Chains A and B, each alone.
Chain A
Amino acid sequence: MDAVLESLPDVFRAFGYTVLLFLVSGVFSLIGGTLLVAMRVGPVSVLNKAAATYVTLVRNTPLLAVFFFFSFAAPKIGINFKWVDVHIGTFDFTSFFSTAVVALTLYTSTFVCEALRSGVNAVPLGQAEAARAIGLPFSGVMRAVVLPQAFRASVPPVASALIALLKNTSVAAVFGVIEAASQMKIMTNNNADERWGIFIAFALGYVLLVEVVSLAAGTLERRWRIA
């Protein structure tokens, strides 16, 4: 444990990257997932099929493969995010961070979409029909009637998708982001004699972060419960 205590600033910075990757890709995944689910349950057949194909394709691809694509294949066709160059405090947001966010977002959106779809399916069909009957357009039906209820019903599965996302950020360790898993590797390499202590410290860090997400989800679930 000494090694962890000695380089505490580095450890916190690394977990900072983990949290930032999670927050940024989490927000984008929620937006992306909502758009996808709107496409999937919407009346336009083309969008319907496009979203279904996208979800099937990306959800069935290992995250590592998605990362590989954006790290090694995409740059060869000019997609490299080199234009991203933001520095805030000690955190650098460059092409590597962006690549990780893009890969994580595209991947997690599919899971969020499917979780939300289960919520949409939980809303009785009669409600959407009633909303149509009073003259709401599709966007109105979704915004005012279906999605608010769908979000409530799908808090637990969306939370699972987000928890998976939090842990999936560790894949970025081997794609240029010095986040928690990467920092752990640095420290186990330098301190072969303290392998276990370091491992446990980082595992606890992840457990703590996941617990925060779970608690937030639990609170939301209680607050949004339909009386």
Chain B
Amino acid sequence: MRFTRTKAIVATAALALSLAACGDAGGDGETVDVDVADDASFDAGTRMAELADQGTINVGVKFDQPGLGFNETGADMPTGFDVDIAKILVASLGIDPNDTSKVKYIETISDNREPFLEEGKVDLVLASYSITDERRAVVGQTGPYMLTGQQLLVPEDSDAESPEDLQGKEVCSVTGSTSLDNAKAQGMKPVGFDTYSQCVDKVLDGTVEAMTTDGTILAGYAAQNEGELKVVGDPFSEERIGVGYSKDFPEMCQWINDTLEEANEAGTWAEAFEANLGASGVETPDFPELDSCES
């Protein structure tokens, strides 16, 4: 009896250790400090005034993309560039973005971003959300606050350098993502899995030759698996990553644009980029030109 109990304790400890090892994925946990606006004032009747008054907000972010939106097991809140931009927006409403009783970070996967906005389950979406005309037909999108392009993640010893080298080869991405569709358009054979990390697994075990999606996402995985995986090729698509909001509140657009512009001028935008994506060797780019809210 004692023997089994000892064994159980050892097993639990081992499990805890291995879980801790798994959890070490979200970069170095650096985040950008944002000042909570204490003089936040908005025109009465706007959604921003409403949110500022109620003092709570729901933000949709990704939970599984290191460097952009990543929730470590057991962590209070996710970390990443998307999350930091969300914090800047939340802080401008006079809400403390680090107080999880006020700000709820909800996981939005690629499939439920529009429904969550339409149903009002989230007020903002910052989940590597590319701006497209089809999406703009159902939800509001503005930005972009980041430009990225699709690249390839291959094993360190691979010779493949561009989509041309992978014609007719199987390439992994997330089922239903734009990246998977682009891969097909480039002449590669798309293989869809549920999450990017599963694709990483498939590249590591050699079942597929490469995986593909936005370069910023791949850089995070390359950093996580240093010496085993590398990002190659020039970007072969352009994704304009923006902020999603409900179409019911068009006034949010100008507020988001203004806040992003301010963050750029104050340097917090660049700071957030470096803190989250700098480590993976990506140079901080220029702040992208924002779409106008008139239309």
Residues of A within 8 A of B (CB): 71-72, 75-76, 80, 82, 92, 94-96, 173-178, 182, 184-186, 188-195
Contacts and interface: CB of A to CB of B under 8 A. Distances in A.
A95 B191 CA distance: 11
Closest 10 CB pairs of A and B: A185-B176, A193-B137, A174-B194, A176-B191, A189-B176, A192-B135, A75-B205, A192-B114, A192-B138, A193-B138
Given A95-B207, A96-B191, A186 B138 contact: no
Given A94-B170, A190-B181, A176 B193 contact: yes
Contacts of A194: 134
B181 A72 contact: no
A188 to B, nearest CB: 7
Contacts of A173: 175, 192
Contacts of B175: 173-174, 182, 185-186
Contacts of A190: 132, 134, 178, 181
Q: Counting chain B CB atoms within 10 Å of each CB, which of A92, A173, A186 scores highest? A: A186
Contact of B114 (A72, A95, A96, A195): A195
5 contacts: A176-B172, A186-B180, A188-B176, A192-B135, A195-B138
B47 interface: no
Interface string B197-212: 0100110011100000
Interface in B139-190: 139, 170, 172, 175-178, 180-181, 189-190
Nearest to A176: B191
Contact of B207 (A75, A174, A184, A192): A75
B138 A174 contact: no
Nearest to A181: B175
A192 B139 contact: yes
B110 interface: yes
A176 B172 CA distance: 8
A103 to B, nearest CB: 14
B111 to A, nearest CB: 7
